A = this chain, B = another copy of it.
Amino acid sequence: METAADAGEEELSPPRSSLVLDDDEDVEEVEDEGGNLKEPLLEHHPINLRRHAPNNTSQLAIVGSNLCPIESLDYELIENDLFNQDWRSRGRAAILWYVFLKWTFCLFIGIVAGAVGFFNNLAVENVAGYKFVTVSDLMLANKYWTAFWVFAGSNLALLLFATVITAFVSTAAGGSGIPEVKAYLNGVDAPDIFSLRTLVVKIVGMIAAVSSSLHVGKAGPMVHIGACIGAIVGQGGSRKYGMTCRWLRYFKNDRDRRDLVTCGAAAGVAAAFRAPVGGVLFALESLSSWWRSALIWRAFFTTAVVAVTLRTLIDICERGKCGLFGKGGLIMYDVTSDTITYHIADLPPVILLGVIGGILGSLYNFLMLKVLRVCSLVNEKGRAYRLLLAATVSIFISCCLFGLPWLAPCRPCLKEDCPSIGHSGSFKNFQCPPKHYNDLASLFFNTNDDTIRKLYSSETNDDFQKSSIMLSFVASYVLGILSYGVAAPFGLFVPIILTGASYGRLIGMLMGANSNLDHGLFAVLGSASFLGGTMRMTVSVCVIILELTNNLLLLPLVMLVLLISKTVADSFNPNIYDLILKLKGLPYLEDHAEPYMRQLTVTDVVTGPLRTFNGVEKVGNIVHILKTTGHHAFPVIDEPPFSSSPVLYGLILRAHLLSLLKKKRFLPTCTLSGFDASKQFVADDFAKRGSGKHDRIEDIEVTAEEMEMYIDLHPFTNTSPYTVVETMSLAKALILFRQVGLRHLLIVPKSSCRAPVVGILTRHDFMPEHILGLHPFLVKSRWKRLRFHKSTLTRFFRTSLMWACS
């Protein structure tokens, strides 16, 4: 079989800027960087050879805490005859039923996500609460060493439990899961991230990890949990457990699953922060790559259901008994203070807060990346190493948390409920005499949520000393970064809020009489600046903070501080999730093209030999090609005698070919089948199966006799593949690929009388690593994004650190 690639080979060099067309002779090998800047980039670089080199970008990525193979998702409408007939046969009732089911799924996702969010909080409050109560009681009895062993022991046990179930049951549950969800919504599918097993491990492991006094949060995992619920619902039942239904087949495609996963992720955020609007905005701003107005509406419905569910459950808890679950149950720092006023004079400290927050935030990202790199080296060595790492981190943190408060002096109690004894309260006695409290211990020996609420409270300017807040800030900054290296399920949001809150209070204290703002307000603004500096979200963080603090008067200040910290931090490095995405090797498709992509055409990056099929193809050929290549789609070309000249009929997916081979309805001769495909096949046979589940060519046995038979591919070929002409610039092809959500993009020739397809672009062909690998001179070129060079950044931080330490 002749491939289209061979036919198109002689015209590959891009003649876009050479005015004499079809003229390749005047190619020179000049690589001078200082040459005429107006010259096109590629004219001097003959790169015809690349066709013989396949795309070597990695098809593996770190998912959760293990290296896994990844695949792309297909958000394109597959329009082949079989599907079209199936679609046309749907009556009005079927469509109404589909709409109804989708809304019901959203309702279900909202209820379950709300319930899980509530349960998580309940469990953490109780597990961590009893631990702190026990330790406090032992301290009151002056049994300091026993208290330490109980504290460190229970922390160790909890964290090891979380690490063990992550390592042995579902490695995909490790980490926050936000990068994986973000990648999924961008079109990267990793096996097992949305399985039931992952869901259970994520919930249980997160409760244990968060209760183990690690500086970690539960918001990130809630996003993953929400998305997981959405994906499981969208799976369209389970054949394994016989839970299928005819109606569910309409959901067996990546588009509907994407919608449900988006709603699930929004529900997760809403449940974590009790912030329904913030949840929608978070999903919109930070997670999803495609968005429709209708999806906002659906996500909003889901988060509204979450809000109602949470409220109902909390109402129930307030009446009955939920252990130590009190008003601290959900992260909701309801610190309404109607007296908050501020004037123009208050702006300078707020601006300062934003600037420093931005710098500290980008430094946080930078250090986090270093730690993650080191820890992933350790984690890759095996499960024993993971446990060892977890144990080391846990013991170190326990020592810090237990040791540091001894440095803080005791302070006499001025308020009621001080020190709090027998329940998980705010003021801790620690080593102090009765009627005294240790302010640092009060910050350390509480759940993160209680600590944040404490820091946010207004009219508590005198509750803490400068040194304690300083220590608390340094500890949470360092321990937050350290904690995230452990391979267990937890998130980043809460530690960042906590670190920001102590940083904000510190600035407030250092301001002293120069500012009239309340220190609680400073803490809120500090959190905002830190979130802006690390996560770089704006509208969603703003709304989440407003919903958390329940105080709309803060809005202008929060906006200001977010704007400043994001601007400052953006000039150093990208946001933390993008850094982690890159570290994990997930092929995330950015929504903007790199500047050099405007200088390349699609033919400059497409690699590997193209494999095509005839409209009626020999089974042997199909099996051979499926076995020898890893491609997921093949162009179908009608050649004589089926047409007068070669005609591009469409694109057929590997999954559909495998289904055809499994069904074994082969034709004895090379003719059109001539019968109605819908009588032999149902659309459900070709429905996209859930994440990570697909047939493999090795599992299909085809006899030698069958190898000589034929398949008519026409009814199964997507007749509407998206295409670009070979002279299309890479930047514009990327816009198409990303905006429409494609998995494959066909390249067609610009001129007549050539093979009708020149190549196929996939996600990996747009990856900068791939492009820069093909065209190494681009690495040095000035066509890269504007950002402080990495070494500049390293140097800056190193100098600052040296200066700070000296």
Contacts and interface: CB of A to CB of B under 8 A. Distances in A.
A538 B296 contact: yes
B648 A276 contact: no
A150 interface: no
Interface string A559-575: 11001001000000000
Contact of A293 (B285, B301, B674): B285
Contact of A752 (B99, B280, B756, B786): B756
Contacts of A712: 19
A729 interface: yes
Contact of A79 (B566, B638, B642, B729): B729
Given A276-B559, A543-B543, A296 B300 contact: no
Given A552-B552, A646-B751, A729-B79, A736 B722 contact: yes
- Mostly helix, strand, loop or mixed at chain A's interface? mixed
A39 B678 CA distance: 11
A719 B724 contact: no
Interface string A12-53: 000011011110000000000000011111000000000000
A77 interface: yes
A406 interface: no
Interface in A524-568: 538-539, 542-543, 546-547, 550-553, 555-556, 559-560, 563, 566
Contact of A555 (B276, B285, B751): B276
Given A19-B674, A308-B556, A538-B300, A724 B723 contact: yes
Contact of A715 (B19, B95, B714): B19
Interface in A273-315: 276-277, 280-281, 284-285, 291-294, 296-297, 300-301, 304, 307-308, 311-312, 315
Nearest to A548: B552
A482 interface: no
A304 B541 CA distance: 14
Contacts of A16: 81, 719
Nearest to A95: B786
A344 to B, nearest CB: 7
A461 interface: no
Contact of A84 (B336, B598, B782): B598
Contacts of A728: 720, 722
A715 to B, nearest CB: 7
A300 to B, nearest CB: 5
B89 A38 contact: yes
B22 A753 contact: no
A395 B533 CA distance: 58
A638 B21 contact: yes
Nearest to A615: B21
A146 to B, nearest CB: 45
Contacts of A663: none
A19 B615 CA distance: 10
B753 A88 contact: no
Nearest to A39: B88
A38 B751 contact: no
A551 B336 CA distance: 11
Given A729-B720, A731-B77, A646 B752 contact: yes
A750 interface: yes
A725 interface: yes
Interface string A232-267: 000000000000000000000000000000000000
Contact of A643 (B37, B336, B751): B751
A673 interface: yes
A732 B79 contact: yes
Contacts of A645: 751-753
B722 A38 contact: no
A538 B79 contact: no
A384 interface: no
Interface in A343-367: 343-344
A338 interface: yes
B725 A648 contact: yes
Contacts of A99: 786
A629 interface: no
Contact of A748 (B725, B755, B786): B725
A648 B547 CA distance: 56
A750 B648 contact: yes
A451 interface: no
A719 B725 CA distance: 9
Residue from A77, A92, A591, A752 with most neighbouring chain B CB atoms (10 Å): A752
A35 to B, nearest CB: 11
A514 interface: no
Nearest to A536: B297
A754 interface: yes
Contacts of A546: 277, 552
A21 B720 CA distance: 16
Contacts of A756: 750-752
A304 B559 contact: yes
Contacts of A650: 727
A320 to B, nearest CB: 16
A672 interface: yes
A739 interface: yes
Residue from A39, A751, A755 with most neighbouring chain B CB atoms (10 Å): A751
A308 B555 CA distance: 10
A559 B300 contact: yes
A96 interface: yes
8 contacts: A21-B643, A77-B729, A92-B786, A284-B284, A552-B552, A646-B751, A720-B732, A736-B736
The 8 closest A-B CB pairs, nearest first, are A647-B751, A739-B739, A304-B559, A720-B729, A720-B728, A38-B85, A648-B750, A300-B538
Interface of A: 16-17, 19-22, 37-41, 76-77, 79, 81, 84-85, 87-89, 91-92, 95-96, 99, 276-277, 280-281, 284-285, 291-294, 296-297, 300-301, 304, 307-308, 311-312, 315, 336, 338, 343-344, 538-539, 542-543, 546-547, 550-553, 555-556, 559-560, 563, 566, 591-592, 598-599, 601, 615, 638, 642-650, 672-674, 678, 712, 714-715, 719-725, 727-729, 731-732, 735-736, 739-740, 748, 750-756, 782, 786
Given A304-B560, A304-B563, A739-B739, 14 more contacts: A17-B84, A21-B638, A21-B642, A276-B555, A284-B296, A291-B291, A304-B559, A312-B344, A315-B343, A315-B344, A601-B720, A643-B751, A645-B752, A725-B748
